[in-house]
Amino acid sequence: MKRIGAFFTAGILLLTVLCFYACKDAASGEQEVLDSYGFVQDFSDRQGYRGWWYLFGDSAEGFKPMTYHEDFGEYRGEDYWSRLSVYDSIPGLNSEIAVGFSVPKTCTLSVSSTIYRHPPEGFGIGQDGVWYYSYCNSFTDAEELLFSEMIVDTEITVHTLTYETQVQEGDMLYFVINSRTNQSNDNCVLDIRIDLGGAA
């Protein structure tokens, strides 16, 4: 009986310790540094969860956080149509949308992103697809782009874009969708995989 009591006491003690650390992390906002991250895998109703941010605005003027709409399971910006989700991401009429990723540690990091756009039936006049590009912290010159691609297809075509770069803890990576000059049928399906390598 004493042995059962000892196991019971040890179990309660272990649960208390685990709860303490879980509650401490939740309260402080600290998040465990993982080896890999995924936009779809980690998608959350909480801005900043696992380093992901859901944004709208402009790469030149700056981005602002979108608001999560629970009924639709998506983030929306203030600009009409501007939204982000694992199923459908659409730039606004007068704004870009962006996924931000806050780098949790200094390292060499690799990115692999897929994107496709739902093209209209019988590709319409003036429908010019989207521009998808990525940069770190700021973008003022095309040479700073880590990848850049026009997604202009007449049937569903998955584009895979990759890069590897050295980053510092606290850097912000941006993955931006721009509607170009016409916003028709700019619905995209996006994923971003990020793997953290060794120390830079």
Shortest spacing between CB 73 and Ca ion, in angstroms? 24
Among 114, 145, 150, 180, indicate the residue that binds Ca ion (CB under 5 A). 180
Shortest spacing between CB 189 and Ca ion, in angstroms? 15
In 3D, which of 66, 64, 190 has the Cα closest to residue 133? 190
Q: Say whether residue 96 binds Ca ion (CB under 5 A).
A: no
Q: Say whether residue 82 binds Ca ion (CB under 5 A).
A: no
Angle, CA 183 vertex, CA 143 and CA 173 arms, to 5°: 35
Q: Segment contacting Ca ion (CB under 5 A): 62-70, 106-114, 155-163, 175-183? A: 175-183
Shortest spacing between CB 97 and Ca ion, in angstroms? 13
143 and 107 in contact (C-beta within 8 Å)? no
Residue 30, both tokens? 């600290």
Shortest spacing between CB 185 and Ca ion, in angstroms? 7
39 and 52 in contact (C-beta within 8 Å)? yes
* Pattern 101-140, Ca ion, x by CB under 5 A: ---------------------------x------------
Shortest spacing between CB 135 and Ca ion, in angstroms? 20
Q: Say whether residue 186 binds Ca ion (CB under 5 A).
A: yes
Q: Say whether residue 179 binds Ca ion (CB under 5 A).
A: yes
d(CA 178, CA 133): 8
Q: Where are the alpha helices (DSSP H) in the chain?
A: 2-28, 39-42
d(CA 42, CA 24): 21
Looking up tokens 């309660």 gives 12
Binding site for Ca ion (CB under 5 A): 128, 179-180, 182, 186
